[in-house]
Amino acid sequence: MSPSVEALRARFGGALTRAGVVWGETTVIVDRGQLHEIVRWLHDDPSQLYDYLSDVTAVEFRDLEEPIEVVWHLRSLPFRRFLRVKVLLERGTSLEVPSVWDIYKSADWLERECFDMFGIRFAGHPDLRRLLMWEQYAEGYPLRKDFPLRGRFSRSEQLRQALAANPEARYSKEELSIADAFEDLPRDMQRRLESGERTGE
């Protein structure tokens, strides 16, 4: 059991619902409401210093009564530790968790991927949009258990929607003046590019 568990229990007490060791790796299940505070503490505290976020992902079990778990893999490079932090989202509750982007910048794309594949919203994320599928993808969230392997639409419809997506709609404003696709972008993206804001990509 990682020493962080004791420290977490001492500091946060009730927010830590369960802790266990699986194959030498410590997993800690925490309360959704206090997650941001806990991750902030794990990052900042000099005895913890979990400065590297490896992954943000989600687990959905085949038994649809089980809650969906959102998982953060944290690593402490100074102390050479690994910690898995989980939040259980009960069925019927909203799939929303706080974003840790302000603590770890790598959460930017990791959370976008989690949103794209599972539909979990990260509150406080600066630019939560699809990452692996194209932005106007309308079939749903591919890694959910109720999503069929081949997708919901027919092949010709999928192809039609894919071909309708504009691949140049991701470029910066300088590149877009060549590509001529600026008018095709959604309004808020046009505004962001006009103001020179970078999305962090």
| Residues within the interface to another protein (CB under 8 A) | 132-134, 139, 142, 147-151, 154-167
Structural element, H or E, at residue 61: none
- Cβ proximity to another protein, 69 vs 135, nearer residue: 135
Structure tokens at 191: 């505004």
Quote the least distance from Cβ 198 to another protein, whole Å: 22
- Cβ proximity to another protein, 94 vs 156, nearer residue: 156
- Cβ proximity to another protein, 91 vs 160, nearer residue: 160
- Across 169-181, b (16+ Cβ under 10 Å) vs e yields bebeeeebeeeeb
Pick from 54, 55, 61, 42: nearest CA to 3: 42
Quote the least distance from Cβ 48 to another protein, whole Å: 38
Quote the least distance from Cβ 142 to another protein, whole Å: 5
Quote the least distance from Cβ 49 to another protein, whole Å: 38
- Cβ proximity to another protein, 21 vs 179, nearer residue: 179
Q: What gap in Å lies between CA 186 and CA 196, rounded to an integer?
A: 16
- Cβ proximity to another protein, 88 vs 143, nearer residue: 143
Q: What gap in Å lies between CA 12 and CA 69, rounded to an integer?
A: 20
Q: What gap in Å lies between CA 1 and CA 41, rounded to an integer?
A: 19
Q: What gap in Å lies between CA 50 and CA 47, rounded to an integer?
A: 9
- Cβ proximity to another protein, 21 vs 165, nearer residue: 165
Quote the least distance from Cβ 155 to another protein, whole Å: 4
Structural element, H or E, at residue 124: none
Quote the least distance from Cβ 59 to another protein, whole Å: 20
How far, rounded to the nearest angstrom, does the alpha carbon of residue 181 sit from its chain's CA centroid?
Answer: 29
- Torsions phi, psi of 73, nearest 5? -105, 115
Answer yes or no: are the C-beta atoms of 52 and 100 closer than 8 Å. Answer: no
